[in-house]
Amino acid sequence: MKKLLAFAAGTVMSMSAFAAAAPSTLPAGPVYLKFSGQEQIAINGATTYAGSQEINWGVIIVSTAEKGDVNTPHDAVDPNGDIFYVNGQGGQITGMFYDIRQGAASPTNPFPATGGYLDLYWRDLSTMSKSSVSNNDIDPSVRCGFDCATGFTEGQFLARIMFDTGMDIGNPTNTIVGNQVPSSNGFSGQADSYGSIVESAGGLWANQLDSDWFVTQLGGLRDLRFKNSYNYNNKWNSGDNILGARIDDPAQAFALPEPGALSLMGLAMVGMGAALRRREKKAAK
């Protein structure tokens, strides 16, 4: 019996360890992602993409990912220093956010926004070049389409996250709360938002991040929570009404167990049960 249990446990642990090293897997439980990037913000009725109503887009690189601790149940996750991913060690987690539009007026939201998506990718550095968000390496021309940015939307697709409602208590149609209105005179602000996985888009992380763990201030359930700082960066300006900014974002999530790991554990337990039944039959003869 002990040998069977040891074999089953060893099988699950070895398979799980293999899965943990793959970009398709997140450790189950609270997760804290830190990322930085560059963005453009349109003001005075301008848009950041011709033919659309978009007022904000940008690119990001996740610098570290670590396991977290629950600060407030279903509301906040803190980092705990147990880092399982570092930018550039074997690969990169890159992304692009886009289609963020002007929000509705709100008494509690000085710079409201609505809509928007964030697409995440795994960039394998054994076959792809390393991307950077340094001003010395990229500029706004990195954008190659509405949801395309060279060096940031290439590789294995991880997930599409929709910026979702529930953060703005002053207007339930807004998806992002911004506390500072951007200006060419300079600005520094903070933006808060929730995110929900777009299931139809698929992605290697989609199932794990589709947790409905966060309960919004308006009562809905969401998969992620973002809190980012945005600071004026004139090197990303495109004219008087499209302003550049540097962003630094912690993102919080609560990952579900990876389905493959669960399947492996189930197979191991089924195999152990079958072996035990065979042993019992032999003992009864």
Taking 90 as the threshold, does the pLDDT of residue 209 lie above it? yes
pTM of the full structure: 0.84
Rounded average pLDDT over 261-268:
38
201 pLDDT tier (thresholds 50, 70, 90): very high
Distances (CA, A) of 31 to 41, 85, 117, 194, 240: 28, 11, 20, 15, 39
Rounded average pLDDT over 216-236:
96
The mean-pLDDT minimum among 17-26, 110-119, 146-155 falls in 17-26
Residue 258 has a pLDDT of 72
* Residues 66 and 161 grouped into a single domain: yes
Helix (H) or strand (E) holding 61: strand 54-72
* Residues 46 and 77 grouped into a single domain: yes
* Residues 114 and 239 grouped into a single domain: yes
Rounded average pLDDT over 29-35:
96
Residue 249 has a pLDDT of 86
* Residues 244 and 262 grouped into a single domain: no
Three-class secondary structure of residue 130 per DSSP: coil
**Structural domain boundaries, residue 68:** 29-256
* Residues 99 and 15 grouped into a single domain: no
* Residues 38 and 148 grouped into a single domain: yes
* Residues 84 and 41 grouped into a single domain: yes
Taking 70 as the threshold, does the pLDDT of residue 16 lie above it? no
* Residues 165 and 126 grouped into a single domain: yes
* Residues 264 and 126 grouped into a single domain: no
For the chain, the average pLDDT equals 86
Residue 71 has a pLDDT of 96
- Kindly calculate the radius of gyration of the chain based on its CA atoms and give it in whole angstroms: 22
- Helix axis angle for 2-21 and 259-284, nearest 10°, is 170
Give residue 217's identity as a one-letter amino acid code: Q
* Residues 263 and 234 grouped into a single domain: no
DSSP at 188? E
Domain count, the chain: 2
* Residues 158 and 46 grouped into a single domain: yes
Contact 94, 85 (CB under 8 A): no
24 pLDDT tier (thresholds 50, 70, 90): low
Taking 70 as the threshold, does the pLDDT of residue 257 lie above it? yes
Tens of pLDDT, residues 51-71: 999 999 999 999 999 999 999
The mean-pLDDT minimum among 12-26, 72-86, 122-136 falls in 12-26
Return the C-alpha torsion angle 8, 10, 16, 19, nearest 10.
-110
